[in-house]
Amino acid sequence: MESGKKKQHCRKKQDDNLLVSIKEAHEVDLHKEIEDLKTENEHLQGQVRRYQRLDGYLKRAEKLVKELEQKFPSATTRHGRSWAIRRRINRCFNTTT
């Protein structure tokens, strides 16, 4: 009878150890997944900031084009804006980062 109880106890202990191992492995996987998500989140936040900055540049350029078209109505042609306006816009946005 005691031999059966020892075997049962041993088996239960092995099962417990296996459950602990599985739980630890799962926790490690979760921690890795959390770190991956944090990294991806930082990357996406950087892209959002970049697009917001580009959107600001675009709005600034559109405003400048309208302003220049009002100042120099003869600078526009039937085929679009003249090179003078494009040069002016390029000079305005030519910044060193």
Per domain, the residue ranges of the chain are 2-93
Residue 81: other Cβ atoms inside 10 A: 15
Q: How confident is the model at residue 34 (pLDDT cuts 50, 70, 90)?
A: very high
| Mean confidence (pLDDT) of the chain | 78
Backbone angles phi, psi at 82, to 5 degrees: -80, 170
pTM: 0.50
Question: Which residue blocks in the chain are alpha helix, DSSP H?
Answer: 2-71, 83-93
pLDDT at 48 over 70: yes
Q: Are 69 and 85 in contact (CB under 8 A)?
A: yes
Q: Cα–Cα distances in Å, from 46 out to 35, 42, 57, 76, 86? A: 17, 6, 17, 37, 29
Q: Average of pLDDT values for 22-40?
A: 89
Q: What pLDDT does 36 receive?
A: 94
Res 97 pLDDT > 50: no
Angstrom distance (rounded) from CA 82 to CA 94? 18
